């Protein structure tokens, strides 16, 4: 870390490291290799779910040794900052036409899975050639329905976590690792 002091070292709201930086790097490289093999001859369109997935997608895209294309969408779920109501709204839609494309949805974290099941239904209606999901984190024991997650980075305990793209009220997205958040949760 180039001699600089970790700007978060004395933040009382940050708890233990759930996934360390080197562990993230290694797993993203592995996922990249797996995706490179699986999608050989049919380069995928990566669909990043903003904002949380932006760090993961940036690293993952460079770990896939294929001519991928990138698009993003943003969804908002009604509910508080730490719970999802299941009612999801597309805030920013894709620029790309998905018809006949091999779509790989890139998600930061799956908690209840409600956001993802809504997204999957909505994207499948656009008739892609295939649709798979790559989620960096999946919270253990939280999903009421079985989700078909083809690619998963890590299964993590059901704590609220921040870093590597994940936020609380827009903060901590630039933490290089994933940590437990112990502070008050602001709705936003």
CA 186 to chain centre: 21
Contacts of residue 120, Cβ cutoff 8 Å, sequence gap at least 6: 105, 131, 133, 148
Minimum CB distance to ligand IMP smaller for 70 or for 75: 75
- Is residue 113 a contact residue for Mg ion (CB under 5 A)? no
User: Given the complex with Mg ion, which of 50 and 149 has the nearer CB atom?
Assistant: 50
Residues paired with residue 155 on neighbouring β-strands, in sequence order: 138
Cβ contacts of 55 within 8 Å, gap of 6 or more: 164, 165, 173, 174
- The binder of 104, among Mg ion, ligand IMP, none, by C-beta within 5 to 8 A per type, is none
Helix (H) / strand (E) containing 40: none
C-alpha span between 116 and 173 (Å, rounded): 20
Among 22, 25, 93, 111, the one annotated catalytic:
111
Q: Closest distance between ligand IMP and the C-beta of residue 41, in Å?
A: 31
- We find the least distance from the C-beta atom of residue 97 to ligand IMP, in angstroms, to be 24
**Is 111 an annotated catalytic residue?**
yes
Taking the least distance from each CB to Mg ion, the nearer of 35 and 72 is 72
Q: Which is nearer to ligand IMP, 11 or 38 (CB)?
A: 11
Kindly list the residues in this chain that would bind ligand IMP in the complex (CB under 6 A). 52, 77, 84, 107-116, 160-162, 166
Q: Does 52 bind Mg ion (CB under 5 A)?
A: yes
- Taking the complex as a whole, the smallest distance from the CB of residue 27 to Mg ion amounts, in Å, to 21
Rg (CA), the chain: 16
| HSE-up (13 A, CA, CB side) for residue 18 | 25
Distances (CA, A) of 63 to 47, 59, 79: 15, 6, 34
Length of the chain: 188
Least Cβ distance, residue 183 to ligand IMP (angstroms): 12
Near Mg ion by CB under 5 A, which window of 2-10, 47-55, 58-66, 110-118? Answer: 47-55
Residues forming a β-bridge with 102? 130
Partner from Mg ion, ligand IMP, none contacting 36, C-beta within 5 to 8 A by type = none
Where along the sequence are the contacts to Mg ion (CB under 5 A)? Answer: 52
């Amino acid at each position: 870390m180039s001699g600089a002091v970790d700007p978060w070292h004395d933040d009382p709201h940050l708890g233990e490291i759930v996934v360390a930086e080197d562990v993230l790097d290694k797993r993203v490289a592995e996922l990249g290799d797996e995706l490179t093999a699986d999608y050989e001859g049919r380069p995928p369109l990566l669909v990043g779910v903003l904002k949380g997935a932006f760090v993961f997608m940036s690293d993952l895209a460079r770990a896939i040794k294929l001519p991928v294309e990138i698009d993003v969408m943003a969804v908002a779920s009604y509910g508080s900052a730490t719970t999802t109501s299941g009612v999801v709204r597309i805030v920013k839609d894709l620029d790309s036409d998905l018809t006949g494309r091999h779509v790989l949805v890139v998600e930061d974290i799956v908690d209840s899975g409600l956001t993802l099941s809504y997204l999957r239904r909505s994207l499948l209606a656009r008739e892609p050639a295939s649709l798979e999901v790559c989620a960096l984190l999946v919270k253990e024991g939280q999903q009421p329905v079985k989700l078909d997650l083809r690619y998963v980075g890590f299964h993590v305990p059901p704590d609220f976590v921040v870093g590597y793209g994940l936020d609380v009220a827009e903060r901590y997205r630039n933490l290089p690792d994933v940590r437990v958040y112990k502070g008050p949760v602001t709705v936003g």
